[in-house]
Amino acid sequence: MKPGFKMQLIDRYLDLLEQTLTGAILDDLGFQPGEQPELLTHYDEKRRLLGQDWPQHAHTMVGLTRLRHLRQCIDQILKNNIPGDFIETGVWRGGASIFMRAMLAAYDIRDRRVWVADSFKGLPPPCSDRFPADKGSWLHKAAFLAVSLEEVQRNFAKYGLLDAQVVFLKGWFKDTLPRAPVAQLALLRLDGDLYESTMDALNALYDKVSPNGFIVVDDYRLPTCQRAIHDFRASNSISEPLENIDPTAAFWRKRPLHDCIPVAEEK
């Protein structure tokens, strides 16, 4: 085999997965809330690029740009040996998590796991007493967002990626994440839409993210999620810059260890 050929094959595999998981390969129709799926006739390339529609059949709604960015994050994690597993909190049909597992398979990495956290029955109703930012959210009524554990597992299996390196956490984040036996994370992918869901994930998992690890916020431009991100960053004095991925999503990287200011010893 010519030098570099294996890398070309890996790139082709991941390119193909990006196209397949997003439904771009088949021009899978998508719709936005309020649109009637049965009236759609036209595949909107730009929406799929930016993850701005809900695909009828595809396994992820995050779109091509966010999937490519996820690939770049994982490339950096592997290149720089940033320790830890990957987790997605809010997986829907599983596509973005499948992509994470696929990258481990492509590079033959066996000592990292992908954690797949979801209720597998949609979003919780808003609890506006505790989380006023979620008041009025109707997303818990969207049956389209409720995908069972069995269906997500079947989706992993279709790509040959359902194995012991994938761990499913079924239930509301507030119940599953604080007691999940996750030791260390190189990548925390937040995709639960609500203030509550974003905050519950950050409270349970942020301390487990390694220095230089990635926090990817899929719904940053949703006011509910953005409020949670700003509140969490402010109350934890997080000043690492938030960078845009596309018009909806953003990310930051946890401060490297050597950036920490040593605390003066008490006398």
Q: Which residues bind ligand SAM (CB under 6 A)?
A: 60-62, 88, 90-92, 95-96, 118-119, 122-124, 145, 147, 172-173, 191-194, 196-197, 200
Residue least distant from ligand SAM (Cβ):
90
Shortest separation between residue 126's beta carbon and ligand SAM, angstroms: 11
Q: Distance (Å, rounded) from C-alpha 95 to C-alpha 22?
A: 8
For ligand SAM, the closer of residues 212 and 251 by Cβ is 251
Shortest separation between residue 107's beta carbon and ligand SAM, angstroms: 21
Q: Is 14 left (phi over 0), alpha (psi -120 to 50) or beta?
A: alpha
Shortest separation between residue 261's beta carbon and ligand SAM, angstroms: 35
Shortest separation between residue 201's beta carbon and ligand SAM, angstroms: 8
Shortest separation between residue 239's beta carbon and ligand SAM, angstroms: 27
For ligand SAM, the closer of residues 112 and 219 by Cβ is 219
Shortest separation between residue 50's beta carbon and ligand SAM, angstroms: 13
Per the CB < 8 A criterion, the answer to whether 253 and 214 are in contact is yes
Q: Distance (Å, rounded) from C-alpha 13 to C-alpha 159?
A: 11
Per the CB < 8 A criterion, the answer to whether 166 and 113 are in contact is yes
For ligand SAM, the closer of residues 77 and 100 by Cβ is 100
For ligand SAM, the closer of residues 114 and 212 by Cβ is 114
Strands (E), 141-220: 166-170, 185-190, 209-217
Q: Distance (Å, rounded) from C-alpha 266 to C-alpha 141?
A: 54
Shortest separation between residue 159's beta carbon and ligand SAM, angstroms: 14
Per the CB < 8 A criterion, the answer to whether 179 and 205 are in contact is no
Per the CB < 8 A criterion, the answer to whether 80 and 141 are in contact is no
For ligand SAM, the closer of residues 92 and 214 by Cβ is 92
Name the DSSP class of 129.
T
For ligand SAM, the closer of residues 58 and 82 by Cβ is 58
CA distances from 36 to 29, 31, 33, 46, 147 (A): 11, 7, 8, 19, 20
**Both structure tokens of 257:** 């260890």
Q: Distance (Å, rounded) from C-alpha 4 to C-alpha 28?
A: 33
For ligand SAM, the closer of residues 124 and 213 by Cβ is 124
